């Protein structure tokens, strides 16, 4: 194939999608989507989880084949049948999961993507080029570092260098900030600006309003696979975008009400927890949470959050002590937590909180089966009798389901989370709530619901430990914030935007 010529004129359309349709069994992921990209612009593709953003871009990148619709590059209709084809057309994509070889170093990984390197590749040439790109685009990487040794943020920078090395002109970045500290995200934005200044065009996929407003020139909103609208970034705002995403008015920022903070509920002392590989993931963590207080735990994912939350809820063994209202709970014992009115909203609601194959009403009462009062309760012997008390939860938590008999696996993410909340919170006035990424994958409307439930619980006097990846979620809900870095609490800060910089530095391991 001839080398593809990308337009030299800024503002010329480099990519145009018309009426793209992509169906998966049972759903239409892209429903007649139109989208265009101009030279030198950042066009954000905004939408909630499941809106169809990745699918659309996977079509552009040749991973999926559209059922119908046209793709034009520089006004010419093309068939992009594979990523290799896409790359030939000057398209590069950084997916949510990277494709680097962990045991190779940065230079070797960049070289892997090149095709005319000869039989004996000259890696020193590649390295020199990487250093030039890194300087020109302000991308900090060490060409000699092995992939397994570097952070997720640096791995992403390697992926970007790979695209710049082959002079991609259309860059697709799929939710690139999800794994970055705020400072790394700023660095990425600077690089993106350098790229567009040099004539590249960027499609920036995200579900975060703030960052889309910060980095893009135009925004196209997808909802349930359809384009809701395209707007110029400087002519819109958070509220309008949220409404486009969800289809109704939403309150983005909740009012953080002060509550009466009283006695200590959770006390964690010198906690050590191993990960699944047998390495210490939590290395001597101590903290406490009091009644009426939300302690937020911030940090880049993979710094011990999972192990910490599982240990606290008794799903994972540990060394050290955990007390709830002054009483020491046993390691590796969930029943003990249930007995002490600890509620748990896990990161992976499908795997750790719900039984997908059981009906809603049984999921709502599944934990009650362990309590003595329940096992002597006639309901226990006739689970069907739980149907009618379930109706109250369906109503109180506005779970949209056709019946309480519906198997949980058929619910949307937001409704699944409401079932979890109803069971964990609606059922038993918890003293302590451990919430891990409680709004991950939820739409803005369901997010608002979760926030309100947690704030009501705080007002009622529950102690809440909030482990979250999204700093704005932490800012929205917490009274104090601790930063977890490499299994330790590296410091505390105030949960507001004026401390973003300080928190970001701690997330990167820099002590106050």
Query: Footprint of Mg ion on residues 36-75 (CB under 5 A)?
Result: 54
* Contact status, residue 508 vs residue 181, Cβ threshold 8 Å: yes
- How far from 481 is each of 293, 465, 505, CA to CA, in Å? 11, 10, 14
The two tokens of residue 265 are: 């509920």
> What residue 476 binds from ligand ADP, Mg ion, none (CB within 5 to 8 A, per partner kind)?
none
Closer Cβ to ligand ADP, 174 or 424, answer by number: 174
- What is the Cα–Cα distance from 259 to 479, expressed in whole angstroms? 10
CB of 228 to ligand ADP, least distance (A): 13
> What residue 92 binds from Mg ion, ligand ADP, none (CB within 5 to 8 A, per partner kind)?
none
- What is the Cα–Cα distance from 501 to 507, expressed in whole angstroms? 10
Closer Cβ to ligand ADP, 141 or 221, answer by number: 221
CB of 207 to ligand ADP, least distance (A): 7
Closer Cβ to ligand ADP, 168 or 206, answer by number: 206
CB of 416 to ligand ADP, least distance (A): 13
Closer Cβ to Mg ion, 96 or 234, answer by number: 96
- List residues near ligand ADP by CB under 6 A: 24, 27, 29, 47, 49-55
CB of 227 to ligand ADP, least distance (A): 12
| Residue among 289, 296, 210, 295 at smallest CA distance from 474 | 296
Torsion of CA 424, 426, 427, 432, to 10 degrees: 50
CB of 426 to Mg ion, least distance (A): 31
> What residue 438 binds from ligand ADP, Mg ion, none (CB within 5 to 8 A, per partner kind)?
none
The two tokens of residue 434 are: 């451990």
- What is the Cα–Cα distance from 29 to 23, expressed in whole angstroms? 6
Specify which residues 218 forms β-bridges with.
Answer: 43, 232
- What is the Cα–Cα distance from 79 to 3, expressed in whole angstroms? 15
The two tokens of residue 124 are: 């020193």
- Residue written as token pair 């909340």: 421
CB of 206 to ligand ADP, least distance (A): 10
- What is the Cα–Cα distance from 55 to 30, expressed in whole angstroms? 7
CB of 411 to ligand ADP, least distance (A): 13
> What residue 49 binds from Mg ion, ligand ADP, none (CB within 5 to 8 A, per partner kind)?
ligand ADP
* Contact status, residue 291 vs residue 463, Cβ threshold 8 Å: yes
The residues binding Mg ion (CB under 5 A) are: 54
């Amino acid at each position: 194939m001839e080398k593809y010529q990308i337009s030299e004129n800024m503002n010329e359309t480099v990519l145009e999608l018309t009426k793209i349709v992509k169906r998966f069994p049972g759903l239409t992921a892209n429903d007649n989507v139109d989208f265009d990209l101009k030279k030198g612009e950042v066009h954000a593709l905004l939408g909630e989880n499941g809106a169809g953003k990745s699918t659309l871009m996977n079509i552009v990148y040749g991973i999926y084949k559209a059922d119908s619709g046209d793709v034009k590059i520089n006004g010419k209709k093309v068939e992009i049948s594979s990523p290799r084809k896409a790359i030939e057309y000057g398209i590069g994509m950084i997916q949510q999961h990277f494709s680097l070889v962990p045991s190779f170093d940065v230079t070797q990984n960049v070289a892997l993507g090149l095709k005319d390197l000869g039989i004996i590749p000259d890696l020193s040439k590649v390295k020199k080029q990487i250093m030039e790109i890194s300087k020109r685009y302000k991308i900090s990487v060490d060409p000699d570092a092995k992939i397994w040794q570097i952070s997720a943020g640096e791995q992403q920078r390697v992926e970007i260098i790979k695209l710049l090395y082959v002079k991609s002109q259309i860059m697709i970045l799929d939710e690139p900030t999800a794994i970055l500290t705020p400072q790394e995200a700023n660095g990425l934005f600077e690089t993106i600006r350098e790229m567009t200044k040099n004539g590249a065009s960027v499609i920036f996929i995200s579900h975060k309003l703030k960052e889309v407003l910060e980095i893009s020139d135009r925004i196209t909103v997808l909802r349930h696979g359809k384009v809701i609208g395209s707007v110029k970034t400087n002519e819109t705002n958070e509220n309008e975008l949220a409404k486009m995403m969800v289809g109704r008015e939403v309150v983005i920022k909740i009012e953080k009400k002060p509550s009466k903070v009283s006695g200590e509920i959770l006390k964690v002392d010198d906690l050590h927890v191993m990960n699944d590989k047998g390495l210490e993931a939590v290395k001597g963590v101590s903290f406490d949470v009091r009644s009426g207080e939300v302690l937020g735990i911030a940090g880049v994912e993979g710094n011990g959050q999972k192990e910490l939350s599982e240990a606290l809820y008794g799903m994972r063994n540990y060394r050290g002590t955990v007390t709830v209202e002054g009483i020491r709970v046993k390691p590796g014992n969930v029943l003990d937590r249930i007995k002490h009115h600890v509620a748990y909203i896990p990161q992976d609601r499908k795997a750790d909180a719900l039984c997908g194959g059981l009906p809603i009403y049984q999921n709502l009462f599944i934990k009650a089966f362990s309590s003595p009062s329940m096992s002597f309760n006639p309901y226990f012997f006739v689970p069907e009798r739980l149907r009618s008390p379930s109706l109250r939860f369906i109503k109180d938590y506005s779970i949209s389901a056709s019946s309480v008999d519906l198997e949980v696996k058929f619910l949307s993410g937001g409704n699944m989370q409401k079932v979890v909340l109803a069971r964990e919170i609606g059922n038993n006035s918890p003293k302590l709530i451990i919430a891990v990424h409680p709004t991950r994958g939820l739409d803005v409307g369901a997010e608002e619901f979760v926030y309100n439930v947690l704030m009501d619980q705080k007002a009622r006097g529950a102690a809440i430990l909030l482990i979250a990846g999204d700093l704005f979620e932490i800012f929205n809900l917490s009274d104090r914030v601790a930063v977890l870095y490499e299994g330790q609490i590296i410091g505390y800060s105030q949960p507001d935007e004026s401390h973003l910089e300080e928190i970001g530095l701690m997330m990167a391991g820099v002590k106050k």
